[in-house]
Structure 1
Amino acid sequence: MAKKVVIVGGVAAGASAAARLRRLDEDTQIVMVERGEYISFANCGLPYYVGGVIERRESLLIQTPRSMFRRFNIDVRNNSEVEEIIPQNKEVVIRNNLDGNVYNENYDYLVLCPGASPIVPNIPGADQPNVFTVRNVPDSDRIKHYIEMYQPQHAVVIGGGFIGLEMAEMLYELNLRVSIVEAADQLLGSLDPEMAAIVHSYLRSRDFEIHLQAQALSMEGAERVEKITLASGKSIPADLVIMGVGVRPEVGLAAQAGLAIGSTGGIQVDDYLRTSDPSIYAAGDAIQVTDFVTGQATLIPLASPANRQGWLVANNICGRAMKYTGAQGTSIVKIMDLTAAVTGKNEKSLQKLGIPYKSVHGLP
């Protein structure tokens, strides 16, 4: 008898798991439930769509519900949300967000790929209409529409990580003045300070404002944000605000079902990406993984590990047992003519952990 797999989430890990399952087994019934309108989109390309580097919106969409059905015979239910898992019955409760219809769906295996949600600090004024996150296609649509409609002059990016700097560059290329507000003492915290200093110098030479060890205290304005006041008392003009302070794993559904949540706040899985319920697997930004440099539990919300995990989950469901040995996190960011890349741990984090290391310096 053919097995039935329900996948919660249809972006990186979920789409990868679904496609791999079909390649391994033509008979498995595969149901993919995605709360948003879009599945399998290139979230790493969102800033470049906002900035016009990616000209066609369709270029962001790797697969659509129609193409997933036609190519892989996968039952994609977008604009739908799993509201509850009933593990003892091997059922999920699904709500169609378009018509409100609620129904139960049974499964033999459940794969949780709910991803992560952007962190929005509790700052007065952060709910104004010109404050944006960058996590999905509708987010990028809203930013593009706002820029075209209101032609803002000064953007403030809260958070100096990879997504923050990519958005900062794209807004700069759209002729906005850009200020970056970062709570830490450097941008791109995974870089060594000496490398981050090169990034700081490069950005300042191109008239970016960088505020380090700074926190936004309030966002002020009548109908939309007009300025941001920092904890230092300094005010920054702002008619467009991007929140890029990171993401947190979506674990509400898993926790509600009684699945184990790890020390980092991600869904706890074993070496085969099984949760504490052997019929439920998890993959992607929502799970806790092992950093194979330190051996410690960590979160690595990146597309490449998510795709790999989804692929492995499919193998394990189909009896091709394969362990996930962990990740170390690798990121590359291009800021105009400068490229910065990092993999593994920097000196500061290794010193903090008491892990011996050797340092090699070189010049191009």
Structure 2
Amino acid sequence: MRILVIGAVAAGTSAAAKARRNNDDAEIVIYERDNDISYSGCGLPYYIGGEIEDISELTPRDSKFFKKKYNVDVLTGHEVLNINPNTKELTVKNLNTQEIFVDKYDKLILGTGATPFMPNIKGIKNKNVFFLRNVQSARNIRGFIENNKPKHAVIVGTGFIGFEMLENLMDTGVNVTVVEKQGKITPNLDEDMATFLEKALIKKNISIIKNADIIEILENKVLLEDGTEIKSDMVIMATGVKPNVSLAKEAGVEIGITGAIKVDTSMRTNIEDIYACGDCIETFSSITGKAVYRPLGSTANKTGRIAGDVVTGGKLRYRGNLSTGIFKLFDMAIGSTGLSEKEALEEGYEIVMCHNIKPDKPSYFKGKEMVIKAIADKKTEKILGVQIVGYEGVDKRLDVFVTLITYGAKVDELFHLDLAYAPPFSTTKDPVHYTGMILDNALNNNRPIITSKEAQRLIDKGENIQVIDARISKQYDENHVYTAINIPHSKLRNELKTLDKNVLTVTYCNKGVTGNATQNILINHGFKNVCNLSGGHKFYKSTKK
């Protein structure tokens, strides 16, 4: 059997390695038009920032390694020009010698990856404009910084790459402005969590301009459509990627609704003996079953392994993904998994959600608060999605939620998890436990939650509601929800007669716990409709525009 692979980064090399493990007799050849292979693309921003000094740490494997360990021939500097499915042939060009030749395959695996999306902006091809996609682009950016000593930079886009580049450029002493085309930052977060994160970044003196369209990039500035001029000696375009599908499309391979190659769970395309994996394919949501395009290194490695297994007779199958992602931003960690609030509503779910603010560990171990937004389906009580903004321990909690969602856990199961506890690592009731308790109370114990957005909407409409601030008077005087009356929790029982039991009542404290205690008292005294403000005044204040 002769197996040819196009692309030698995460997916292609994973496919070749797995195929070799299954079949030691197969001939396996990888064609790669670039010179660097099997590199850690997610580590490139940290090389630019100097945290990783030697880029060879991100490129530990070369062609000699694959030949010696796997008996796989990796031919770099070789571009595949054409695929002929009828004759099972590839037309290949050696970019070093310009020689063009034909190679035959029994099985073909496409791992052609993705390329940066290039907006139509005047000056986007200037020498001071960079797209971070591969090892050479990282070398070019770091070289530009070292040689030109830029003082000002603009980063376009607020996805993973944009924010990772923000941190690393600032670490080199560059003054950075972030420009975002949309009305909110961070595509993987809902608007409320994105606003919460944005305000935290503003406190760190990060300059963010939203709803901004760039019309021209010059040598020393960037021009926005509204006339704003931003000082800029260099520009990083972090505007997303698009799948490389032209080669596949020309060969008759079916392209899915996301614009990426359509494959089944075995990574098979519509053409016999042609498979695809990595950033060039669309996958599907394990919650909805619908096609999604999620170009992540973890998914590329996984789908590559499946492709290599299947072409050699294996039984691995893809089971979908939750679009899980996490990134570091200065001392913060931001992660998400599953459906967002927006996506869940678009899918027709009737949802309940909460914003839980809890420390990752006790204060005497210098614990810091994280905000967990959790979304659940009212009908099945299953968790649909989670977003977390915090400091330490975000990855641990996120992975717990990933596992729970994967196996269809209901909200009441969170409290019963036997999670690891010791003061250096967590609180006795972990933030995961609290999240389950809040959602379970809302669904099953008549303790409904109201979001800041919904509460504000009712207030703005002049609805007949009573809002009770259960904090001490000093906190109330400093800042409070508009129309709220201050009845500290300790005085509530003495003030019950002054309140109307029959109108919607919203309770809140600083973060939610005392607000819930106030809610309990009111419900136990016959109040008909009492909601606790999700995330308390702290989240309300941090997300109020």
Q: TM-score, normalization: structure 1?
A: 0.96
The residue aligned with 1:136 is 134
Count of residues paired in the alignment: 358
Given the alignment of the two structures, is residue 321 of structure 1 paired with residue 315 of structure 2, yes or no? yes
Report the Cα offset of residue 303 of structure 1. Answer: 0.6
The residue aligned with 2:192 is 194
Deviations 1:245-300 (A, max 9, x none): 10000000000101111111101111211011120000001111111222221101
Find the residue that maps to 1:94 and give its secondary structure: strand
Report the Cα offset of residue 135 of structure 1. Answer: 0.5
Which residue, out of 79, 82, 90, partners 2:80?
Answer: 82
Q: Does the CA-based 8 Å contact 1:315-1:321 persist in structure 2?
A: yes
Deviations 1:133-161 (A, max 9, x none): 00000000000110011100111001111
- Describe how 1:172-183 pairs up with structure 2 within 5 A: 172-183=170-181
Which residue, out of 261, 264, 272, partners 2:266?
Answer: 272
- Describe how 1:128-277 pairs up with structure 2 within 5 A: 128-220=126-218, 225-277=219-271
Distance 2:349 2:309 in 1: 34
Which residue, out of 277, 284, 288, partners 1:294?
Answer: 288
- Describe how 1:12-23 pairs up with structure 2 within 5 A: 12-23=10-21
Distance 1:355 1:142 in 2: 47
Find the residue that maps to 1:104 and give its secondary structure: strand
Find the residue that maps to 1:184 and give its secondary structure: coil
- Segments ≥4 residues shifted beyond 4 Å: none
Report the Cα offset of residue 226 of structure 1. Answer: 1.3
Distance 1:59 1:287 in 2: 28
Compute the RMSD of aligned alpha carbons.
1.1
- Residue range with higher mean Cα deviation, 188-197 or 117-126: 188-197
Report the Cα offset of residue 355 of structure 1. Answer: 2.6
- Describe how 1:276-355 pairs up with structure 2 within 5 A: 276-355=270-349
Which residue, out of 45, 53, 72, partners 1:47?
Answer: 45
**Structure-2 change in CA distance of 1:353 and 1:183 (3 Å):** farther
Deviations 1:135-189 (A, max 9, x none): 0000000001100111001110011111000001100111111111111122111
Q: TM-score, normalization: structure 2?
A: 0.65
The residue aligned with 1:27 is 25
Percent of pairs identical after alignment? 38
- Residue range with higher mean Cα deviation, 311-320 or 196-205: 196-205
- Residue range with higher mean Cα deviation, 318-327 or 352-361: 352-361
Report the Cα offset of residue 228 of structure 1. Answer: 0.9
Greater relative CO, 1 or 2 (CA 8 Å, sep 6+):
1
Distance 1:17 1:243 in 2: 30
- Residue range with higher mean Cα deviation, 61-70 or 350-359: 350-359
- Structure showing the higher helix proportion among its residues: 2
Deviations 1:309-350 (A, max 9, x none): 011111111112232122121111111111100112211222
Which residue, out of 122, 125, 147, partners 1:124?
Answer: 122
The runs of 5 or more residues in structure 1 that have no matched partner are: none
Question: Which residue identity does 1:259 align to in structure 2?
Answer: V
Q: Does the CA-based 8 Å contact 1:177-1:208 persist in structure 2?
A: no
Given the alignment of the two structures, is residue 5 of structure 1 paired with residue 3 of structure 2, yes or no? yes
Given the alignment of the two structures, is residue 96 of structure 1 paired with residue 63 of structure 2, yes or no? no
